A = this chain, B = another copy of it.
Amino acid sequence: MKIIGTYLSPYVRKVLVVLDLKGLSYEIDPIIPFLGDERFAGLSPLRRIPVLIDGAVTLSDSSIICQYLEDRYPKPALYPVDLADRARARWLEEYADTRMGEVFIWQLFNQVAINPYVWGKKPDEAALAKTTTEEMPQVLDYLEAQVPQQGFLFGDLSIADISIAAFFRNAAFARFRVDTERWPLTAAFAGRVLGLEAFARLKPYEDRLMRTPIPKHRSVLTEMGAPLTSETYATVTPRRGIMRI
């Protein structure tokens, strides 16, 4: 099985955690989506990462991939058995992918990491202030009303826990810390889920990539023994070769 997409993406992280929990091994081509070549665009018409290649099946969109993995490799189950809970878990996954995607990635992470280190653009401080003082709190208020005091959202670990937690790694990359007085349940929940081995095993790669110029991502991952593909779908190099924050 092959995955195309960088360890720094919350959508890639979600799929890698699901693969790990299901005991499935994979190789990864850790590209930044903006730098994918035309073959990549052919596999992922919306230029989304990750892409999964499982034999003859090629899929993009992390939610579609995770549901496919659940259908094909059902153990352990990562979608609740109760149909109402299952629908609610999918909704929280959608909320994470869409709304946390907008705020944690396309606003926060984009301003402090992607804009400066991929495109060489300065952060927009006014936009960033609005994100951290208005948009992030709105998302955290919503989550605070959803997450449990202990354990996971639907008893056993599910796709909802994984999807939500994945975004908090990117918040940490952007040096955003959740106020534990204001959102105690959410802060504890994110810490609990990110502490799982399947997330913890990815952390050294993520931390290293955050300190490594993009053109060197492959070589440092090779040094670290990451399960890389031999081929890559990235061909261009970014304007500035670094994504350090």
**Interface pair B64/A142, CB less than 8 Å apart:** no
Stretch touching chain B among A6-14, A88-96, A116-124, A213-221: A88-96
**Interface pair B84/A64, CB less than 8 Å apart:** no
Which residues of chain B are near A46, meaning CB under 8 Å?
95, 98-99
Asked whether A87 and B71 contact (CB < 8 A) given A46-B98, A98-B46, the answer is yes
Is residue A126 within 8 Å, beta carbon to beta carbon, of the partner chain?
no
CB under 8 Å from chain B, chain A span 33-64: 45-46, 56-57, 59-61, 63-64
Which residues of chain B are near A86, meaning CB under 8 Å?
68, 71
A interface residue numbers (CB < 8 A to B): 45-46, 56-57, 59-61, 63-65, 67-68, 71-72, 83-84, 86-88, 90-91, 94-95, 98-99, 142
Main secondary structure of the interface of A (DSSP, over half): helix
Which residues of chain B are near A83, meaning CB under 8 Å?
68, 71-72
**Interface pair A45/B94, CB less than 8 Å apart:** no
Which residues of chain B are near A84, meaning CB under 8 Å?
56-57, 68
**Interface pair B87/A67, CB less than 8 Å apart:** yes
**Interface pair A87/B99, CB less than 8 Å apart:** no
Which residues of chain B are near A45, meaning CB under 8 Å?
95, 99, 142
**Interface pair A61/B94, CB less than 8 Å apart:** yes
